[in-house]
A = this chain, B = another copy of it.
């Protein structure tokens, strides 16, 4: 029995943002309806970086993503974050595919934010602000562009060259290098930085803004002043993960925000258990920590595409 082996290059050629958004939205639906399983991530902290094991099952699909964060990697010519996915048949446990999941991670993160924006941002949103111009910024743009028609995209990064590289990578879009304050003055704002102290000030956030807070994905990380959360409609991808490692983790641990002030999970909104945006003036925030169900959903998509196209490396992994 063959196991498919998909390299990063293979996966890159198979990923499609529109389809990614569809399957990630379905994963949130399945999760909210109790049709998915997702134990807590297992963290492994080492001297130079950390690893997370992220297992999950969706109807007809199961797998684990193993992902590292090694901040010193770029100086060695390696990505900070790399990920590998083992994708299995839930009926037998057989490993159907091993695939690089570095870009799956970026795609599904972009997709989850765009889905949140679809339900929470104003329908007439015409400006997108992206704070941080790294790898995740690219998929935020791609995913939002699949669902919205922006007049202007504003980008800020602490490193000016990062913004220049970003602008040059997307000649199709009208992108403007902007100040942090100007970038936050957008209809939809995505924060994708590794900040460990708030960088987005309450006074910059206009009424009616929707913010996707993506960067905070571990204890001690935060991007928004706690005051931004107060009075906003805060939606999380998963309450347990967000409380421990998401944007709300620091304000919660300092007593500046309570877990019961969270309005809903994204899955609850997708299935209509809770309404999304209710008034044009409200500030809404999506606290994204990244879920294993998102990864498994995209892995299934990639696997099915690869099987259809054929012509990928197959190995007899378990044959004895």
Residues of A within 8 A of B (CB): 1, 5, 7-9, 12, 37, 39-49, 51, 53, 55-57, 62, 64, 66, 68-70, 73, 76, 78-79, 82, 84, 86, 88, 90-95, 98, 100, 102-103, 313, 315-320
Contacts and interface: CB of A to CB of B under 8 A. Distances in A.
27 contacts: A7-B315, A7-B316, A7-B317, A7-B318, A8-B318, A9-B316, A37-B44, A39-B43, A39-B44, A39-B53, A42-B53, A48-B90, A51-B57, A51-B64, A51-B93, A53-B64, A55-B66, A66-B86, A70-B93, A73-B93, A78-B318, A82-B93, A84-B86, A84-B95, A98-B98, A102-B320, A313-B315
A319 B82 CA distance: 11
A79 B93 CA distance: 10
B64 A12 contact: no
A51 B315 CA distance: 22
A44 B73 contact: no
A216 B64 CA distance: 24
Contact of A76 (B51, B88, B92, B103): B92
